[in-house]
Chain A
Amino acid sequence: MQDLLRYAIREAEALGASDIEAYAATSAESEVFVENNDVKQAKSQSTSSIGIRVLMDGSVGFYSVNSLARNKIKDAVSMATKIARVSPRDRYHALPGKSKPRMLSGIYDKNAESFAPADAARMATEMLETAKSYDKRVSVDSGNFSANVGTHILSNSNGIELAERASVFSWSIMGMAIEGSDISNFDFQLGGSHSVRGIKVRAAAIEFAETVVNSLGPLRIESFKGEMLLTPAAVNEMMQETISHSINSDAVQKKSSHFAGKVGKRVALDMLTVEDDATNVEGLGASSFDREGVAHHRNVVIENGVLKKFLYNTYTARKAGVKSTGNASGSTNSPPSVSTTNFVVRPGRSSLDTLVSEMKNGLIISRFSGNVNPVNGDFSGAVKGGRLVRNGKVQHAVKEVMVAGNVFEALRRLNGVSKERKVLHDSILPYMRFDGISFTAG
């Protein structure tokens, strides 16, 4: 495979490109879908593709083709140079130099190679049956189980030659509980693992079933101001996008990040530490190097409430006059952009039980369904799977409650982070509790 990439680089050099990058990927996947309390369809796919990026006189050209045939690669290279000739010049374009990533162990399980569609079907069925047998009121609307083995290969004209293989198993389950005319809020649970041993479909199914059953029999409540305890899934829905956006150098440079100019300043209470960590193999976003071949390492972005750094790829780093943080992202079919890898919130000191028992008056929110504006941090929407807590005791499920506020203000009212964390694909998140949140009865 590296031979093909070297071939692409030589071809592009012959056509006058000064810098060349070839990024190829191959993958094989089996997936089984669940719908209406039944398995729906099984799917298997195999694919390979390559993206060619060339620089000519400070202009960039990009062409991608989903074939690794030599003649297709040759055409792709020629098209990429043609595109570079019609692109405007931009002096910040450059490819990274050679680095030596420490190759991760634990993201590839050789047992994944023999994982057949029948195994995926067995997992999907086990998840479905676990949820259904937890309580007969549980109804599974949809779900999936997928198994993927993929290889990423990257070479550039600065001498980078890297390859890595990873296996990813992931699953999800969504639905509600139904008791007569009482239909609970939807709940959605997901999970993932790099190894066969780490597959835990039962845990996702039980958590899903428990949540929907717990949200049956909801009662209306009066509007009030109080505490909000978010599950990891709700943290993901309400907070993560805004924080990810604000720490992204691309957003900073386009003047849409609330954190612009705030490095070294306090942006949250000191119990919050956020890391971008591609080296954490628990997260599905783990890999040894980024989309441009820059070595991955752990980036502490917010430490004890203080903003430490932004996340960069080579282009945005050059613009800012800093080094890439290894956050070039994207597939073979587009030039690199910037994004988080594994978004990790460090665990706190309290157990979940303690966080609940300390609540005077507030809501536990399983899911948040609404709008979040990642630029200014405003959020508003419906509380899903909400439960009222008074004096440390869970009272009952609530219905038709709206919650509105601002992510940046909420981070300054954070008053609890749990020891327990959940891995939600490429997010590793604890339960988080905030004070002074307004809840409006619908």
Chain B
Amino acid sequence: MNVVPDVNAIDHLRSLISSSRGARYVEARYQARLTTEVNFVNGELERLRVVENSGCGIRVLIDGCWGFSSTNNISSLKKSLGHAKSAARALARTKKNKVRGLADSRMAVGTFRTTVNGSLSDIDIEQKVKVAREGEKAARSNTAVKTASCTYREMLDHKAIVNSDGADVEIFDSKPEFSVAAIAKRGGQSATAHEGAGVTGGWNDLFKKSHLDYALTASERAAKLLDAKHVTGKKTTVILDPAMVGLLSHEAIGHTVEADFVLSGSVVKDKIGQQVASELVTLVDSGRSEIANNAGGTIIVDDEGVAAGRIAIIENGILKSFLHNRESALTFDTASTGNARAFKYSDEPLIRMRNTFIEPGDDKLCEMIKETKQGYLIKGARNGQADANGEFMFGAEEVHLVENGEVKELMRGASISGNAFDALRSVDMVGDDFQFDIGTGYCGKYQPAKVDGGGPHIRCIAVIGGLQ
């Protein structure tokens, strides 16, 4: 199954942009996306669908006002540009704070392809149904597991971006994901375990570990958690796994440094150049898959045509940069960090994260455990919430008691909470390992975005509390 790429799309965009008059800036983005989704629940097919979505989004800046229009009809781009212009002009009289302009950026030119091991288009739909069906069945292999769900989902994108400042790019991207949930039950008690991966890459990049391995791991863990004891709430030493570090970096730190959020009064607004974390902490957002391959939030070029490279948000504990698009970059008198992203052709680009992580340090995980007298090893990031001031509360799926330098019993899932900046200030050990591990997640901010996060294991102080 394959999207037949509209080979002429980029030509349509080029002629539209070159003939456009009367706007300070014009941008046209074509995107064709093929989404395949298979979901099995308790032995039954819950959902199987394939959706083809393509069209063009046009954004113009006229008299300091943004206008945006989208159409699924690539042969009516002129008309759509007219709509974008009248949308912008509709605001000209009432908008008070006009957009001053866009920061100069080097515009990307060329064709970019995600490297894939095993093209998703070459894998028959039957195979995609099979992994979800077998995964769900295997997740119920432990007799304690009463309910299971398994999903395979992929997005294949063909994009073209042309703008009046010189961007001229075509992008071919591939993002598959696989996830399993197992719920064990006994009496009134229940425990849930999740496993899975979401990558930028191909079929073999996703299934480095077999689909059955993911499922069996989830099944066994759910059963074990059923017998586990609850933790007692307290502020204590915690060792966070890469997924938890990724969630903390994205949710509790990353959002506070998005420039649009900074402009509406985020807690970090006056803190560039200040120490906000332990000097062991370097926290990065990158469009590339740094350190490890196939990070789920990888984009090569952002949706304003700017190369999406690495940006250190915190370097050795010092707050170094916010995350920018070209508009906010001009406001802050800096350069775009390539964080402008749109989910679909019909969405306008917003400041979004990509792969957000803490860089590895020198400590071995075994040393971290050995040097912990009393604390918890926390694994398996679940959903969480974070506020504008860095206050967060995340769920963790499994918690291991650590006593006198040894990992002791498995405990029930728990919440960890605190202020993210306080937690990062308390970091005293940073592992030498590294993993991206929140690639099955989507970040929501008016529109979804595929993001990833990770890091090494780190040791810090946080509040642990009972959950479920």
- Which residues on A are within 8 Å of B, measured CB to CB? 30, 32, 35-49, 60-67, 72, 76, 79, 82-83, 86-88, 90, 116-118, 120-121, 125, 141, 254, 333-335
Contacts A86-B129, A88-B45, A117-B87 given; indicate if A41 touches B348 (C-beta within 8 A): yes
Residue in A47, A62, A121 whose CB lies within 8 Å of B55: A47
**CB <8 Å contact, B90 and A120:** yes
**CB <8 Å contact, A42 and B91:** yes
**CB <8 Å contact, A64 and B69:** no
Identify the 8 closest CB pairs spanning chains A and B, nearest first. Answer: A42-B87, A121-B90, A118-B90, A117-B90, A65-B52, A45-B70, A86-B126, A41-B66
The smallest C-beta distance from A389 to any residue of chain B, in angstroms, reads: 29
The smallest C-beta distance from A255 to any residue of chain B, in angstroms, reads: 9
**CB <8 Å contact, A42 and B97:** no
**CB <8 Å contact, B1 and A79:** yes
Contacts A32-B91, A63-B49, A334-B49 given; indicate if A42 touches B72 (C-beta within 8 A): no
Question: B44 in the interface, Cβ–Cβ < 8 Å?
Answer: yes
Contacts A47-B70, A64-B52, A118-B86 given; indicate if A41 touches B47 (C-beta within 8 A): no
The size of the chain B interface, using a CB distance under 8 A, is 45
Bound CA–CA A184/B444 (angstroms): 25
Query: 16 A-B contacts, Cβ less than 8 Å apart?
Result: A32-B90, A36-B97, A38-B95, A46-B73, A47-B346, A49-B72, A65-B51, A66-B72, A67-B52, A67-B54, A83-B50, A117-B67, A117-B87, A125-B94, A141-B264, A254-B42
* Chain A, Cβ-Cβ closest to B80: A46
Question: B96 in the interface, Cβ–Cβ < 8 Å?
Answer: yes
Cβ–Cβ < 8 Å partners of B91 in chain A: 32, 39, 41-42, 121
Question: B68 in the interface, Cβ–Cβ < 8 Å?
Answer: yes
Bound CA–CA A32/B68 (angstroms): 10
Q: Which of B84, B88, B95, B124 lies at the interface centre, i.e. has the most chain A CB atoms within 10 A of its CB?
A: B95
Contacts A66-B54, A67-B72 given; indicate if A44 touches B49 (C-beta within 8 A): no
The smallest C-beta distance from A37 to any residue of chain B, in angstroms, reads: 8
* Chain B, Cβ-Cβ closest to A335: B49
**CB <8 Å contact, A66 and B55:** yes
Taking A42-B91, A86-B125 as known contacts, 4 extra A-B pairs with beta carbons closer than 8 A to each other, sorted by chain A number, are: A60-B48, A88-B45, A90-B44, A90-B45
Contacts A87-B45, A116-B86, A117-B86 given; indicate if A66 touches B52 (C-beta within 8 A): yes
**CB <8 Å contact, A39 and B94:** yes
* Chain A, Cβ-Cβ closest to B88: A42
Cβ–Cβ < 8 Å partners of A72 in chain B: 52
Interface mask (B420-446 → A, CB under 8 Å = 1, otherwise 0) = 000000000000000000000000000
* Chain A, Cβ-Cβ closest to B127: A86
Bound CA–CA A121/B86 (angstroms): 11
The smallest C-beta distance from B67 to any residue of chain A, in angstroms, reads: 5
Cβ–Cβ < 8 Å partners of A88 in chain B: 44-45, 133
**CB <8 Å contact, B45 and A44:** no
Question: B320 in the interface, Cβ–Cβ < 8 Å?
Answer: no
**CB <8 Å contact, B53 and A333:** yes
The smallest C-beta distance from B112 to any residue of chain A, in angstroms, reads: 24
Residue in A42, A48, A62, A116 whose CB lies within 8 Å of B67: A42
Cβ–Cβ < 8 Å partners of B67 in chain A: 41-44, 117
Cβ–Cβ < 8 Å partners of A334 in chain B: 47, 49, 51
Residue in B52, B70, B263, B346 whose CB lies within 8 Å of A76: B52
Residue in B83, B96, B263, B264 whose CB lies within 8 Å of A44: B83
Interface mask (B112-153 → A, CB under 8 Å = 1, otherwise 0) = 000000000000111001000100000000000000000000
The smallest C-beta distance from B95 to any residue of chain A, in angstroms, reads: 5
The smallest C-beta distance from B36 to any residue of chain A, in angstroms, reads: 9
**CB <8 Å contact, A45 and B125:** no
The smallest C-beta distance from A116 to any residue of chain B, in angstroms, reads: 7
The smallest C-beta distance from A237 to any residue of chain B, in angstroms, reads: 16
Cβ–Cβ < 8 Å partners of B83 in chain A: 44, 46, 117
Bound CA–CA A67/B263 (angstroms): 39
The smallest C-beta distance from B142 to any residue of chain A, in angstroms, reads: 20
**CB <8 Å contact, A30 and B50:** no
Contacts A64-B52, A87-B48 given; indicate if A43 touches B87 (C-beta within 8 A): yes
**CB <8 Å contact, B47 and A44:** no
Cβ–Cβ < 8 Å partners of A79 in chain B: 1, 50
Bound CA–CA A203/B352 (angstroms): 34
Bound CA–CA A146/B292 (angstroms): 43
**CB <8 Å contact, B50 and A62:** yes
The smallest C-beta distance from B286 to any residue of chain A, in angstroms, reads: 28
Bound CA–CA A86/B89 (angstroms): 51
* Chain A, Cβ-Cβ closest to B98: A38
Contacts A43-B348, A67-B54 given; indicate if A333 touches B49 (C-beta within 8 A): yes
Question: B71 in the interface, Cβ–Cβ < 8 Å?
Answer: yes
Residue in A42, A47, A62, A63 whose CB lies within 8 Å of B68: A42
The smallest C-beta distance from B340 to any residue of chain A, in angstroms, reads: 14
Bound CA–CA A417/B41 (angstroms): 39
Q: Which of B71, B89, B90 lies at the interface centre, i.e. has the most chain A CB atoms within 10 A of its CB?
A: B90
The smallest C-beta distance from B383 to any residue of chain A, in angstroms, reads: 11
Cβ–Cβ < 8 Å partners of A66 in chain B: 52-55, 72
Interface mask (B255-282 → A, CB under 8 Å = 1, otherwise 0) = 0000000011000000000000000000
**CB <8 Å contact, B55 and A30:** no
* Chain A, Cβ-Cβ closest to B128: A86
Bound CA–CA A61/B52 (angstroms): 15
* Chain A, Cβ-Cβ closest to B43: A88
The smallest C-beta distance from B121 to any residue of chain A, in angstroms, reads: 13
Bound CA–CA A79/B90 (angstroms): 43
Bound CA–CA A39/B1 (angstroms): 43
* Chain B, Cβ-Cβ closest to A69: B73
Cβ–Cβ < 8 Å partners of A64 in chain B: 49-52
**CB <8 Å contact, B51 and A333:** yes
Bound CA–CA A48/B54 (angstroms): 11
**CB <8 Å contact, B66 and A42:** yes
Interface mask (B69-85 → A, CB under 8 Å = 1, otherwise 0) = 11111000000100110
Q: Which of A36, A60, A76 lies at the interface centre, i.e. has the most chain B CB atoms within 10 A of its CB?
A: A36
Cβ–Cβ < 8 Å partners of B96 in chain A: 37-38
Cβ–Cβ < 8 Å partners of B346 in chain A: 45, 47
* Chain B, Cβ-Cβ closest to A59: B45
Bound CA–CA A39/B96 (angstroms): 8
Cβ–Cβ < 8 Å partners of A118 in chain B: 86, 89-90
**CB <8 Å contact, A47 and B49:** no
Cβ–Cβ < 8 Å partners of B45 in chain A: 87-88, 90
Cβ–Cβ < 8 Å partners of A65 in chain B: 51-53
**CB <8 Å contact, B94 and A47:** no
The smallest C-beta distance from A136 to any residue of chain B, in angstroms, reads: 16
* Chain A, Cβ-Cβ closest to B66: A41
The smallest C-beta distance from B130 to any residue of chain A, in angstroms, reads: 9
Bound CA–CA A49/B70 (angstroms): 14
**CB <8 Å contact, A44 and B94:** no
Bound CA–CA A47/B87 (angstroms): 17
**CB <8 Å contact, B87 and A30:** yes
Bound CA–CA A40/B45 (angstroms): 43
**CB <8 Å contact, A38 and B97:** yes
Cβ–Cβ < 8 Å partners of A63 in chain B: 49-52
Bound CA–CA A125/B72 (angstroms): 29
The smallest C-beta distance from B49 to any residue of chain A, in angstroms, reads: 5
Contacts A116-B86, A121-B94 given; indicate if A46 touches B72 (C-beta within 8 A): yes
* Chain A, Cβ-Cβ closest to B42: A254
Bound CA–CA A335/B47 (angstroms): 8
The smallest C-beta distance from A347 to any residue of chain B, in angstroms, reads: 35
Cβ–Cβ < 8 Å partners of A335 in chain B: 47, 49
Cβ–Cβ < 8 Å partners of B86 in chain A: 44, 116-118
